[in-house]
Amino acid sequence: MVSFYALCWALGLGLRVWGKTIPTTKAVVLFGDSYTDQSRAHSIANGTYPGKDYQEVFPPTDTAADGGVQWPWYLGLYGNYTIWNYAVGGAVCSNVLTPLNGEPDVIGGQTDWFIQDHVTNNGTKDQKLDMDPEEFVVIIYIGTNDVGIHLFIDDSQSPTVSLADLADCQLTTIRNLYALGARRFIVNSLIPLQLTRLYSNSSDPTIYYPAPHDGVAWNKRMYNFVQTMNTLLRRGVAALSEEWRGTATLDVFDTYGFFEEMYNHPAKFFNGSIPANVTGHCHQCPDPNDFTQCGIGDCTLAERDSYMWWDELHPSEQTGRNLAQQLFKKLTGAETQF
Ligand SMILES: *[C@@H]1O[C@H](CO)[C@@H](O)[C@H](O)[C@H]1NC(C)=O
Ligand SMILES: *[C@@H]1O[C@H](CO)[C@@H](O)[C@H](O)[C@H]1NC(C)=O
Ligand SMILES: *[C@@H]1O[C@H](CO)[C@@H](O)[C@H](O)[C@H]1NC(C)=O
Ligand SMILES: *[C@@H]1O[C@H](CO)[C@@H](O)[C@H](O)[C@H]1NC(C)=O
Ligand SMILES: *[C@@H]1O[C@H](CO)[C@@H](O)[C@H](O)[C@H]1NC(C)=O
Ligand SMILES: *[C@@H]1O[C@H](CO)[C@@H](O)[C@H](O)[C@H]1NC(C)=O
């Protein structure tokens, strides 16, 4: 259930005074990783410069990390929003805090693209945002790689970085975007990563991490990381909302809770040709040491929408449609389904 207070925040400035209308959302600006990226990571790998001239590439030419079309496209479809998707597969919030793949990060390279696209005369006294702040919302959905493999989960992070720094990075990004003129923000909480195959309690090798590891320990660590990050994000967002009361709207979307809802009530959300499956995944890699075999043994196209997960780490396209539907409800002030 969404509390009245939370609902009012979600609805933006307008509804806090009865009789005023919900702001009309015309565009959604997204920052994140492979949970949001449609094709930027591939475009970068391709050598196609993905800045101002970037074009999203959709199936069958290119598939996102969910095996198909990524959820922002569905959000755009459901709400008739213009989607500015700056997310890059493999990204983290900050390459300074948690260097990983060197992909443009949320606080740096991804924000720079937003500036290139939407801020005229950046850095001068004539600096101006080219969108009405009331008409677009920023969604930040990052953290999966920051806490994951080759970083926190296997103690590969720098000895002087903490989860608190990761949460601060998200809040600082919001402050930076506020300074550029953005006024409406949603932070998607981290999903229950302990439910993915990669961070399950099994110690069997996976394509993402074929090396030996202690599955039971990883599973508990990941639960702890995600819960801690989400608590830090919720409190940080609440403090910033208070600081900006009346000048900006800022809220956490409970991605964690919504994923738990899908996990616990799969029949409501998954509609492929077989019974809903929230523990396995469609995309298979029969030999965890040989990615060229990935795809052998995949579920069929008709079965796909029965799966909550596409692979050992990524949610499926149907999970993405469900997420888009809930975010659409949030943006239009309708009751969310969990
Ligand atoms: C990669 O380059 C090829 C050839 O130019 C192009 O057809 C394809 O759309 C590009 N893929 C992405 C994701 O940009
Ligand atoms: C969708 O959005 C575009 C651009 O904002 C607008 O011109 C068009 O009328 C909208 N269509 C509908 C069906 O609302
Ligand atoms: C925008 O301006 C600031 C302040 O001068 C500068 O630090 C930043 O690099 C600029 N960003 C872009 C993308 O040009
Ligand atoms: C791993 O988790 C499953 C439930 O997902 C549980 O049934 C099993 O007992 C757990 N195994 C260990 C070793 O904790
Ligand atoms: C499942 O539902 C979605 C809408 O959420 C729809 O777009 C999709 O085609 C459905 N999948 C199947 C296999 O019917
Ligand atoms: C779910 O899918 C996996 C394939 O990843 C399969 O091994 C498993 O048996 C399925 N579980 C159920 C309950 O159908």
pLDDT digits (tens, 9 = 90+) for 51-75: 889 999 999 999 999 999 999 999 9
Give kind and range of the element (H or E) at residue 249. Answer: strand 249-253
Backbone dihedral angles phi then psi of residue 309, each to the nearest 5 degrees = -115, 140
Query: For ligand 3, which residues put their CB under 6 angstroms from it?
Result: 112, 115-116, 122-123
Query: For ligand 2, which residues put their CB under 6 angstroms from it?
Result: 26, 80
The neighbour count for residue 63, using CB atoms within 10 Å, is: 18
Bridge partners for 315 per DSSP: 309
Q: How far apart are CA 230 and CA 224, in angstroms?
A: 10
User: Going by DSSP bridges, is the β-strand pair 119-120/128-129 parallel, antiparallel, or unpaired?
Assistant: antiparallel
Q: What is the average pLDDT across 176-203?
A: 98
80 CA distance to ligand 2 centroid (A)?
Answer: 6
The neighbour count for residue 51, using CB atoms within 10 Å, is: 13
Backbone dihedral angles phi then psi of residue 315, each to the nearest 5 degrees = -65, 155
173 CA distance to ligand 3 centroid (A)?
Answer: 14
Of the listed ranges 2-16, 22-36, 260-274, 320-334, the least confidently predicted one is 2-16
| Beta strands, E only, 170-240 | 184-188
Q: Is 38 in the pocket of ligand 1 (CB under 6 A)?
A: no
Q: How far apart are CA 308 and CA 322, in angstroms?
A: 10
The percent of the chain in helix, strand and coil, each rounded to the nearest 5, is: 40, 10, 50
- For residue range 139-176, what is the model confidence (pLDDT) as tens digits? 999 999 999 999 999 999 999 999 999 999 999 999 99
Instruction: Give the number of the ligand closest to the Cα of residue 88.
Output: 1
* Average pLDDT taken over every residue of the chain: 93
Instruction: Give the number of the ligand closest to the Cα of residue 275.
Output: 6
pLDDT grade for 1, boundaries at 50, 70 and 90: very low
Q: How many C-alpha atoms does 294 have within 13 Å on its Cβ side?
A: 15
| Cβ proximity of 114 and 84 under 8 Å | yes
Strands of 136-141's sheet in order across: 82-85, 27-32, 136-141, 184-188, 249-253
Q: What angle do CA 86, 129, 54 make, to 5 degrees?
A: 30
Instruction: Return the closest-CA partner of residue 128 out of 199, 172, 180, 164.
Output: 180
276 CA distance to ligand 4 centroid (A)?
Answer: 20
Burial class, 159, CB count within 10 angstroms (exposed 0-12 / middle 13-18 / buried 19+): exposed
Q: Which amino acid is at 333?
A: G
Q: What angle do CA 29, 32, 34 make, to 5 degrees?
A: 125
Asked whether residue 271 carries a pLDDT value surpassing 50, the answer given is yes
Q: Ligand 6, closest atom to CA 275?
A: 14
| Single pTM value for the model | 0.93
77 CA distance to ligand 2 centroid (A)?
Answer: 11
- For residue range 195-236, what is the model confidence (pLDDT) as tens digits? 999 999 999 999 999 999 999 999 999 999 999 999 999 999
- 177: tokens are 């975007």
Pocket test for ligand 1, best of 61, 63, 70 (most atoms within 8 A of CB): 61
Q: Is 118 in the pocket of ligand 6 (CB under 6 A)?
A: no
Residue identified by tokens 């969404």 is 2
111 CA distance to ligand 3 centroid (A)?
Answer: 10
